[in-house]
Structure 1
Amino acid sequence: MHKLSTSFGLLVLIALVSLSCTSTAQTIDVELVPAFPNLTIPLPTDIQNAGDGSNRLFVCEKTGLLHVFPNDPNVSETTLFLDLRGQIATQSEMGLLGLAFHPNYKENGFFYLNYNVQRGNKFYTIISRFSVDSEDPNKADINSEVIMMEIEQPFQNHDGGQIAFGPEDGYLYIALGDGGSGGDPLNSGQDLRSPLGKILRIDVDNPDDENGKNYSIPETNPFATNSEYVQEIYAWGLRNPWRFSFDQPTGRLWAADVGQDKWEEVNIIEKGGNYGWRVTEGWHCYDPNNNCDSIGLIGPVWEYSHSVGQSITGGYVYRGSNVPALTGMYIYGDYGSRRIWALDYKSEADVTNSSIVNTPFAIYTFGVDENNELYVGGLNSKIHKFVDPSGNVEGKELNTGATLHPAVPNPASSRVIIPYDLDGSMQVSITIFNSIGEEISQLVNQKEERGEHQVEFDTTDIPGGVYYVQLTTEKGQVTRKLTVEH
């Protein structure tokens, strides 16, 4: 993962396109349709499956309700799996925020929740284990709760909320925001004595009876042997990671971190990684008047400014079969702008971000079913799913439109070649933008014929830093990152 050595700006240049759109290294025809037209869950915070072969979906609602229903488009009502409305706090961003099923749920019936409570004038994040009812698979045993962790929250926002089991290690990962307010007034993100602004990792299968804990610290945690720091820490420097997910085939941990004033982030989380907050916001010094020391911090794999969206919602790497063109791409959205993107990450130098859908609802959460099909939950809306309007579900090659290949070399210090392919005769433009969105050079602006093309760009006389190559056709846009080093 790329560590920051200097502070410089990025601007994500993304086209706003229609519900069925074209905007990536290949044309992606995607539609978002109601998955369960007869159901409405107003405040969905998490969508999960139990992984037990039952083909059910479970949906957390901020108010404290946990719904379960069959994964059937004709379903007309949910069953109340668990009702926590009488014990949780729902002020501001608090509520029932996360659900994770134990990897052996089919055998042990354990599931875990992340929720908030108020005690007097104090607020807490609670991580608890519950059990399914021994006689009814669609009902939890409310009396089975075993509290794993209690974490005091200084404010009512930035609680994080996601919990998930690592596919390779079986440990429980927990996302916590910086505690709230604004600007991280307690500097929790960088304080290793605080669990806030972190992703934690615990072993729920081996309680630490000696220290009175219902879990233990994995020996490979970064501070497992350092009692001066929070030993549960896996990674830190996060503001409010609103949804993270594991990509099962690669084991990568993807996290979306909500920004403060200017930048939203997509991160790949590494053990022991410091993701910068509140030293940096995205790739930038959070305090623009302070030439911050960003050495050793890990920058995002992608970011976008608040001119594009104001509150990122993390999703999943798509591994379903309904939309083959999305396979291997990280799908995420923005609560404020209501857009959804597909991020195609191959390496630090080969990242493509494409706008694929504009939704009519504020994007609250994503989830997957047992077949890895992706769902989107929105504010006061129905749960939606992605479909391929062509009906292609066999993985057959879709119409690619225009393909923008990575610049060669990248990073560059002098002349680079930018290859691209066209599937037909069309008007095409290729433009270079700098990190603050200023146009540096328009390399192509003409009608071109079908086939393989390339254009050269001389970086000798421009400052080092991150730039963007943007290809535009009548079908949409694609943007690739170009790093210049002198």
Structure 2
Amino acid sequence: MIKVKVSLRPIVSKINLPTVLKTTILPGDSMESLFIATQVGEIFYIRNRGIRTFLDIRPRIIKLGASEPGVSGRGYDERGLLGLAFHPQFYYNGLFYLHYSVAGTQGPGALPKPFKPNPCDPNTLNLKWINRETQYDHIDTIEEWILQANGQPQIRRTLLNLRRPFFNHNGVNSLNFSPETGKLVLTTGDGGAGYDPFNLSQDDMEIFGKIIEIDVAKNTFIYTPPAVTRFNELPAPIQETLTVIAKGVRNIPGISFQRFGNQYIKYMGNVGQDLEEAIFSFVYYKPIPVTQLIQASLMKSKPDQEGFINIGWRGWEGAFPTSIIRGCSANPTLNEKTIAYYNEAVNTSVSRLQPLTSYYHKDQRPGKFGGTALTGVQPYMGNRIPHLTGSVVFTDLARNEEAGPPVRGVLAYTRGRTDCKLNDFSVMETDYNFGSGSAYYVSLGTNLDQTRLYLGVYGSMKVTDFYQGSVLEIVP
């Protein structure tokens, strides 16, 4: 693939970690404004080169950066303000949607210590999440807000309250509207820890590890729904607003849509466990109404899964069966890789969607890189960077090479294919000088017609290190 060189043009700096970057046209305006949501709960917008506050919900956000079981040090966190989406008719109705982790909901977590499956011990392969009302980490909420005529945003209703088992894998850029169905798409991770201890991602009744469409046009008249973990715990009017597009998700930095004739190609990335990061694409799909999933569960039958998307986790990590990595005592430079969930890998081997492209945590090939975590996937339909037109751009948090500090994220791209083969990718070269500090690439965004790309960068892995963020535009 052609080596593409780009520049980065600074837009704003000294902000908190930017989780969502997207544009919309404010009511009464004639041009798009770039909106930036930060993990700690601020939403800014850029207009006439100035930055303004749209909404500040920091008091509503859970206390971030507290120390977690099995997580070294304080400060790293995957909770906070994670999703922002504007209604397709936002210009006229002022409606927008938020996903965030709620203040005051901190729990002890679902397991007392870090989890690792042992293929020789069935007890570790069949764990159940019990006592869910007390053994959980926090509650996430999905809310509908309205921009009032006086310019002040106000909450209208809560769509979902989700009780999560662990602090991580909550998704990010988790709310996006489908241009095909007009519905709000929620991309939610598997609940966290690692290796999906309770196999929530493959269980049709579990909300986590799924891609869900929400029909926001239906009013359920339930304004404070209960905090739940399973679809069958939801009140019936809320069940009727939900369809499930996909399961088998580990953790996901949103879903994006690329117009292709009179259809849309859907792209989503799945963050890996130990070996690889994967990007998936599909055009055709047949979502299953949650009411049908519940009915099938009651009848102890399987719903028709023809056209239903399964990304394969926890049996598959992208193109590989999920593995456990152990050091080799005889030769410390080598690793032994054991298939963690052999039976599950076999069971989902045919039904799962194959990745469009994968990249690896260790890669000796020239022109490639060792990755850490996928943080954004966006189509580019502009022509200012000609070699990128029609391609899919993605970001990785940090190069996983032995070069040492300072840390740098990675920009790369691939192209869609129609023959279902695994595609190659190419690293993009940038000429921007971040100085001696770290530059983690934490988010990727685009404007409404996908002709501009925006990159969110942070100088630390800790959310408690404030105001180390910047947003740049990717330009020729």
Q: 2:58 aligns with which of 76, 79, 85?
A: 85
Deviation at 1:41, TM superposition (A): 2.2
Report whether the alignment pairs 1:104 with 2:89.
Answer: yes
- 8 Å contact from structure 2 (residues 380, 388) kept in 1: yes
Partner in structure 2 of residue 324 of structure 1: 386
Identity of aligned residues (%): 28
- TM-score normalised according to structure 1 size: 0.66
Q: Which amino acid aligns with 1:241?
A: I
Partner in structure 1 of residue 309 of structure 2: 273
Report whether the alignment pairs 1:376 with 2:412.
Answer: no
Instruction: Return the alpha-carbon distance in structure 2 between the equivalents of residues 281 and 370 of structure 1.
Output: 32
Report whether the alignment pairs 1:351 with 2:325.
Answer: no
Deviation at 1:305, TM superposition (A): 1.4
- 8 Å contact from structure 1 (residues 264, 304) kept in 2: yes
- 8 Å contact from structure 2 (residues 101, 139) kept in 1: yes
Partner in structure 1 of residue 74 of structure 2: none
Compared CA separation, residues 50 and 302, structure 1 to 2 (3 A): same
Partner in structure 1 of residue 143 of structure 2: 128
Instruction: Return the alpha-carbon distance in structure 2 between the equivalents of residues 314 and 39 of structure 1.
Output: 20
Partner in structure 1 of residue 264 of structure 2: 251
Q: 1:60 aligns with which of 31, 37, 42?
A: 37
Partner in structure 1 of residue 202 of structure 2: 190
Deviation at 1:198, TM superposition (A): 0.8
Any residues of structure 2 matched to 1:162-177 within 5 Å, and which? 162-177=174-189
Partner in structure 2 of residue 219 of structure 1: none
- 8 Å contact from structure 2 (residues 356, 421) kept in 1: no
Partner in structure 1 of residue 352 of structure 2: 297
Instruction: Return the alpha-carbon distance in structure 1 between the equivalents of residues 100 and 422 of structure 2.
Output: 38
1:297-341 deviation digits (Å, cap 9, x = unpaired) = 112111111112010122211012321221110000100211111
Deviation at 1:79, TM superposition (A): 1.3
Q: 2:376 aligns with which of 304, 311, 314?
A: 314
1:339-390 deviation digits (Å, cap 9, x = unpaired) = 11110123224834111135752111111124531111111342112222xx
For residue 242 of structure 1, give the secondary structure of its aligned residue in structure 2. coil
Any residues of structure 2 matched to 1:233-248 within 5 Å, and which? 233-248=244-259
For residue 322 of structure 1, give the secondary structure of its aligned residue in structure 2. coil
Return the structure number with greater strand share: 1
Instruction: Return the alpha-carbon distance in structure 1 between the equivalents of residues 359 and 51 of structure 2.
Output: 37
For residue 383 of structure 1, give the secondary structure of its aligned residue in structure 2. strand
Instruction: Return the alpha-carbon distance in structure 2 between the equivalents of residues 145 and 212 of structure 1.
Output: 8
Partner in structure 2 of residue 335 of structure 1: 397
- TM-score normalised according to structure 2 size: 0.67
For structure 2, which runs of at least 5 residues remain unmatched after alignment?
66-76, 108-136, 226-235, 287-307, 324-337, 363-369, 400-408, 459-467
For structure 1, which runs of at least 5 residues remain unmatched after alignment?
1-23, 215-224, 389-486
- 8 Å contact from structure 1 (residues 64, 88) kept in 2: yes
For residue 106 of structure 1, give the secondary structure of its aligned residue in structure 2. helix
What is the root-mean-square deviation in Å for CA atoms of aligned residues?
A: 2.5
- 8 Å contact from structure 1 (residues 46, 367) kept in 2: yes
Report whether the alignment pairs 1:47 with 2:24.
Answer: no
1:118-167 deviation digits (Å, cap 9, x = unpaired) = 4252511211111113122xxx423x331111111111100013111111
Q: 1:285 aligns with which of 310, 321, 328?
A: 321
For residue 107 of structure 1, give the secondary structure of its aligned residue in structure 2. helix
Instruction: Return the alpha-carbon distance in structure 1 between the equivalents of residues 249 and 78 of structure 2.
Output: 17
Any residues of structure 2 matched to 1:409-448 within 5 Å, and which? none
Q: Which amino acid aligns with 1:236?
A: K
Instruction: Return the alpha-carbon distance in structure 2 between the equivalents of residues 120 and 42 of structure 1.
Output: 22
Deviation at 1:229, TM superposition (A): 12
